[in-house]
């Protein structure tokens, strides 16, 4: 197989500081004989200089146009934005988070481009998990307790609680709704700080697992409205971490519960990107992360990992790098043949839709994977 040219443009989405490839990844690709072209300054937001990429064997491009023009595979973090649309062409593979179902205009632009779009968020592993979403949930879960603890301080509108407590004073009470990746990471950090933690899930096997691995200050509870209401009343900090795949998050905390909580308690609704599991949640940004409803501080930032860009970049690329290498080594056709999970990553190619979710979201015809041979012939 001829070698590939992998391009890494600088992210242009507002507040996006991550980058899709780190120097160790560039080194691996170059060792395998591929060319890596990084836009100047692409790593700056994550504390990675052009020189570090050069040292790893990558080349530096002056601008994104040069990257898109030369690269057969373009690795990004966020979905392409309108200034990037005209740079994307047939025969090229774009590998990034797309979240197509959330944007008809992006879907139409990428269909028009004719490029192959392989989405991080739809690649599956052998057991139906989404391995390229997991690292960001790990980051957000761990961060949720740290930011929540900060907002419990009086200066931030909180009720003046030190989550860990001190000798002779009880620790904070943390309620975690959902015991998946976000919830488990949140509970672990809260427990490590010494809080009294209650974690809810509807999956009994998950609760059994959590009961085994969590320390004694974490209590696992089956999720139902009665138990949640009781726990929320006593909570200082509530973390929203539920997910029903492909659906809006279920509302587990109706607004009426807020009046029963102590004023200055804090809710961090990590699930806000799926609509939130707290009725009074609405998405916020890092510029203005909180607002208060009925005396309860709400933190609902939809892209929490963006605040810790360096950690997030390395966490993300640890997960994406093996797939990027496979794309470079085997081309798109070899990639989708590796497994059904890899195939799930292919959303669009040559103006056709190959992913059921995108097809369903916009009532577009779903092409069978065999069509790829025809439309994707020119794709590396």
Ligand X SMILES: NC(=O)c1ccc[n+]([C@@H]2O[C@H](COP(=O)([O-])OP(=O)(O)OC[C@H]3O[C@@H](n4cnc5c(N)ncnc54)[C@H](O)[C@@H]3O)[C@@H](O)[C@H]2O)c1
Tell me the catalytic residues: 99, 273
Least distance between ligand X and beta carbon 1 (Å): 35
CB of 134 to ligand X, least distance (A): 7
| Letter string b/e over residues 330-367, b meaning 16 or more CB atoms within 10 A of that residue's CB | bbbeebbeeeebbbbbbbbbbebbbbebbbebeebeeb
Q: Distance (Å, rounded) from C-alpha 80 to C-alpha 57?
A: 26
- Nearest distance in Å: CB 273, ligand X: 5
Nearer to ligand X, 289 or 295 (CB): 289
125 versus 164: smaller Cβ distance to ligand X: 125
Cβ(149)–Cβ(314) below 8 Å: no
Q: Which residues bind ligand X (CB under 6 A)?
A: 136-137, 140, 177-183, 200-203, 206, 223, 241-244, 249-250, 252, 270-274, 302-305
Sign of CA dihedral 191, 194, 200, 205: positive
Degrees to nearest 5, angle at CA 355 with 354 and 359: 95
Q: Which CB atom, from 64 or from 290, has the smaller least distance to ligand X?
A: 290
CB of 283 to ligand X, least distance (A): 8
From CA 111, how far away is CA 116, in angstroms rounded? Answer: 9
d(CA 8, CA 338): 24
Using the minimum distance from each CB to ligand X, give the nearer residue, 64 or 281.
281
Smallest distance from ligand X to CB 173, Å: 18
Nearer CB in complex with ligand X: 166/245: 245
Closest CB to ligand X belongs to which residue? 180
Query: What is the spatial distance between Cα 320 and Cα 128, in angstroms, rounded to a whole number?
Result: 17
Q: State the Rg of the chain over Cα.
A: 22
CA distance 51 to 149: 38
CB of 139 vs ligand X, minimal distance in Å = 7
- DSSP tag of 79: P
Residues across the chain: 380
Name which of 85, 69, 93 is nearest 20 in CA terms.
Answer: 93
**CA dist., res. 97 & res. 80, Å (int):** 9
* Residue whose CB is less far from ligand X, 20 or 223: 223
The Cα–Cα gap between 56 and 28 comes to: 9
- The answer to whether 144 and 278 have CB atoms below 8 angstroms apart is no
């Amino acid at each position: 197989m001829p070698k590939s040219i992998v391009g890494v443009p600088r992210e242009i989405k507002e507040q996006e500081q991550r980058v899709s490839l780190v120097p160790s990844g560039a080194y691996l690709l170059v060792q395998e004989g591929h060319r890596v072209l990084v836009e100047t300054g692409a790593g700056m937001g994550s504390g990675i200089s052009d020189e570090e990429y050069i040292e790893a064997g990558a080349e530096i491009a002056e601008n994104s146009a040069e990257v898109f023009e030369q690269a057969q595979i373009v690795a990004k973090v966020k979905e392409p934005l309108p200034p990037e649309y005209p740079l994307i062409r047939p025969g090229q593979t774009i590998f990034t988070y797309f979240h197509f179902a959330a944007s008809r205009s992006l879907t139409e632009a990428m269909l028009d481009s004719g490029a192959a779009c392989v989405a991080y968020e739809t690649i599956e592993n052998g057991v139906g998990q989404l391995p390229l979403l997991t690292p960001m949930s790990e980051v957000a879960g761990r961060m949720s307790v740290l930011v929540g603890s900060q907002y419990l301080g009086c200066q931030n509108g909180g009720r003046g609680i030190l989550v860990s407590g001190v000798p002779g004073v009880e620790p904070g009470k943390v309620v975690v709704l959902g015991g998946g990746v976000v919830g488990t990471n949140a509970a672990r950090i809260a427990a490590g700080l010494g809080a009294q933690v209650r974690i809810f899930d509807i999956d009994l096997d998950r609760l059994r697992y959590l009961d085994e691995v969590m320390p004694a200050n974490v209590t696992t509870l089956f999720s139902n409205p009665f138990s949640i209401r009781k726990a929320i009343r006593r909570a200082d900090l509530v973390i929203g971490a539920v997910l029903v795949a492909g659906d809006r998050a279920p509302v587990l905390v109706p607004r009426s519960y807020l009046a029963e909580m102590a004023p200055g308690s804090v809710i961090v609704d990590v699930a806000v990107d799926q609509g939130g599991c707290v009725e009074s949640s609405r998405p916020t940004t890092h510029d203005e992360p909180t607002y208060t409803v009925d005396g309860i501080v709400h933190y609902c930032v939809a892209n929490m990992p963006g605040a810790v860009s360096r950690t997030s970049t390395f966490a993300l690329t640890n997960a994406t790098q093996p797939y990027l290498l496979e794309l470079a080594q085997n081309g798109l056709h070899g990639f989708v043949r590796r497994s059904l999970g890899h195939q799930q990553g292919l959303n669009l190619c040559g103006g056709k839709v190959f992913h059921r979710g995108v097809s369903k979201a916009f009532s577009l015809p779903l092409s069978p994977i065999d069509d790829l041979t025809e439309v994707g012939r020119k794709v590396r």
